[in-house]
Structure 1
Amino acid sequence: MTEPVNPLEDSTVRQQAVHPDHLIPNSARMYDYWLGGKDNYAADRQLADLFLQKIPSMREMARANRDFVNRAAHVLAAEGVRQFLDIGTGIPTSPNLHETAQGVAPDAHVVYADNDPVVLAHARALMISNEVGQVAYIDADVRKAEEILANPELQAQLDLERPVALMLIAVMMLIGEEEGPQASVARLREALPSGSYLAITHPTADFDPPVVAEVTDAARASGMTFVPRSKAEVQAFFGDWELIEPGLVPVRAWRPDGPVENPESAWYWAGIAKKP
């Protein structure tokens, strides 16, 4: 098995990871900062710290969102899913989705998609499949569903006539209404066969509107699109797919590993739906 490359030490990866918009905060790099990573720029840390000032539990919220990925991947792999498409991957944080999925189903195929060069450089360096399954990485934007579906690497790894788990984890918040987020997700849903799943987490202002309004304004003032959505708006992304238990709930309440005293302390809606 190929040994993973340390992206902080490999000059090729560093060159690939140079981001032309490093002065504009980026959600993936902010998450990296909140989760204790070092793959972020000053602009990311500045806005991330402002979020922390307004929402002191932001690091715990980010971790709760990340923990959902692992629970969801485990559940879906246990349900028989062997193909995953994760759009808006973010900077790798172990355990990654493919590690969890392949821990249950070693032959699982996972395609990661992101449009941030920093994310893609680190993904290619650090996300190594086992010897049975497959992992691939594509440069793709959730707003361009047709390009994602037509990508040769995706087509080489995923059989779109067999069920696929589409993972949209804390990514639709970056798409403004004027960019047609519902239409993009609907096109992806349409392309997947019966038995496929859609997993979504999405930040919301439902639990503390004034504070979320403040950080939303700060993000936009910094040049970053950030759109928190209500429960009804998030549920609309699932279309007519059937939500599995426990439905669309606060992220900490989605099949937790143990008792949760205050599930609404992490301001994300989370859910998984199955295509009839």
Structure 2
Amino acid sequence: MTPQPSVGNERPIIDVEIPRRDALADLWLGGSCNTAVDREFAEVAELAFPLLPALVLAAANFHRDAAVAMLDEGIRQFVLLGTGGLPIASTVPALAAAEGVITHCVIVELDPLTAAVRTTENSRGDPEPNPAVQILSPAAPHDFLRDPVAAAGLDAQVPIGILATSILREDTLLLRDIARCLAAAPASSVLALAQLVTPDDPYTRDRMAVARGLFRYAGVPIAVSTGADVHATLPALHPLLPADRSHTSTADALVTGLIRNDRDDTTNPDTEPTSQEHAVCE
């Protein structure tokens, strides 16, 4: 059996027949930290929705560019929200923390198995993990979202860079939850969002629906919304220019952008999601 990584004194129950979100992202990004189960599922999912690898790559490129833009603006504490993908070693904030560039990088991982693996990766064989990188797998994630500063031990006097950039994140993390997290952050905090949305093109929409069904059946349901919901919940969202490397081929299925919480119309966390977003969480 696969060795079981631990978080604190707890050992997660590992079902080796279930694919892992971060391993799937790693595979589509050309990595090798994945298993035969992950590769089998990825092959089936890619046959159902051939655009998936390009979407994962576009989101990863946006993640990198957005984090660099935040660092350039002087942001030195980060929250990676509901990650569900992107191996920890590839995340810009985690790398910056490892080099002593930033003060705090909190990875909020809603998948308990991935949280355990991330904690093991963070240790990197050392007796003590990097103190600047904190892995959280909150039992009540919505409590975290109401007060992320206190929950993560962040400095309430300086801005936070919030990265909700993995398109394989848990479907329980809704757009309005992400908006609440930004609203609760210190002034001048910035959110980077990469969100899968239902395409307008009927063929692509059908392919995505099949893939979503596969993820749900495999036990790793993913968050999919609509473009209307994104812009209603985060009306001030704007593209990252000129560095946004999202491929034009993914534009119909992926919304990316940055938003700062300085303005009154930045977020509308009380917006009711459409039936589309409700359906994702059933």
Matched AA of 2:65: R
| Corresponding residue of 1:228 | 224
TM value normalised by structure 2: 0.71
1: CA distance, partners of 2:81 / 2:39? 23
Q: Say yes or no: does 1:169 pair with 2:165.
A: yes
- Using the alignment, how far apart are the partners of 2:243 and 2:88 within structure 1? 21
Task: Mark the CA change 1:150 to 1:75 in structure 2 (over 3 Å): closer, same or farther.
Answer: closer
In the alignment, what sits opposite 2:75? 81
Q: Which amino acid aligns with 1:97?
A: V
Which of 258, 262, 268 lines up with 1:272 in the alignment?
258
Query: AA paired with 2:101?
Result: P
Please tell me the root mean square deviation across aligned C-alpha atoms, in Å: 3.6
Any stretches of 5+ residues in structure 1 without a counterpart?
1-7, 247-252
Q: Determine if the alignment matches structure 1 residue 193 to structure 2 residue 178.
A: no
Deviation at 1:64, TM superposition (A): 2.0
Offset, 1:167: 1.2
Over 3 Å counting, the alpha-carbon distance change for 1:203 and 1:254 in structure 2 is farther
Superposed displacement of residue 127, structure 1: 3.9
* CA spacing shift, 1:191–1:171, aligned 2, 3 Å: farther
User: Pick from 121, 124, 129: which aligns with 1:126?
Assistant: 121
Counterpart in the other structure of 2:133: 135
SS state at 1:112 partner: strand
Residue 219 (str. 1) matches residue 212 (str. 2)? no
* Cα-to-partner distance string for 1:217-236 (whole Å, 9 max, x where unaligned): 22233333234222122234
- For these two proteins, the number of residue pairs brought into alignment is 248
Written as runs of structure 1 = structure 2, the 5 A alignment for 1:144-155 is 144-147=141-144, 149=147, 154-155=152-153
Question: 1:274 deviation in Å?
Answer: 0.4
- Cα drift, residue 187 of structure 1: 3.0
Amino acid at match of 2:186: P
Shift of 1:50: 1.3
Greater relative contact order: 1 or 2 (C-alpha under 8 angstroms, separation 6 or more)?
2
Matched with 2:42 is: 48
1:28-107 correspondence to structure 2 within 5 Å: 28-89=22-83, 90=85, 92=87, 94-99=89-94, 101=96, 106-107=101-102
How far off its partner does 1:121 sit? Answer: 3.5
Native 8 Å contact 2:193 2:258 kept in 1: yes
